[in-house]
Amino acid sequence: MTPDEKDISMTTRTVSAKKVVLVMVVIGLIAVYGFLIFDRPDDSPQARRVRLLCETDHKALLEAGREILKNGPDPSKYRPFGPIHIDGFPVPRGVPIPRVIRKLRPHAVLINFNGYVVLHMTEGLANYGVKIYPEGFKPPGERFRYGNRELLPGLWYYDHRYRQDPAYNEKISEILQKVQRQY
């Protein structure tokens, strides 16, 4: 083998080794990211419900929703582009979503056209979450429903199970009492 052939051979091996190391690093980063994002100890709907009802500072959540309303567009004049959800439109880009809301990881954060914030915790018809109303909110009609259970003045929990189970409010009370006893 001539010296030139040795240099070409070494360069090829060096480039190949660098590519292998780069691929391994990328795969490792993807694996770590997947572990951090998708490996939650218990992220069932019930665990998320408990986190929302019992492990969240409701006063901070209420203030965060009102902050979105203060920084967001006027819902009565806002014209979103594209399809909208029945409960409103997604918080526009540029309007910061406070940490207390991001930490809950809701499926959607919406601004209702009537002027309140809706946090959907899951997608689909089997949904639950909270509605956050501004101070002095006036219902748009006499058939308006705030939600199923008032957590604080201006912060209402809603859950599709209230329609199916007349005793569901008692189950929510049990969840709240169990957690309060633990602390």
* Domain spans, the chain: 1-39, 45-182
Whether 107 and 120 have beta carbons less than 8 Å apart is answered as yes
68: how many CB neighbours lie within 10 A of its CB?
Answer: 20
Distance, CA of 10 to CA of 106 (rounded, Å): 53
Per-residue pLDDT, averaged over 110-128, amounts to 88
Q: What is the mean pLDDT of the chain?
A: 82
pLDDT-wise least confident of 51-65, 81-95, 140-154: 81-95
Query: CA end-to-end span of the chain, whole Å?
Result: 76
pLDDT digits (tens, 9 = 90+) for 40-80: 555 788 888 888 998 999 999 999 999 999 998 888 777 77
Quote the percentage of the chain above a pLDDT of 70.
Answer: 81
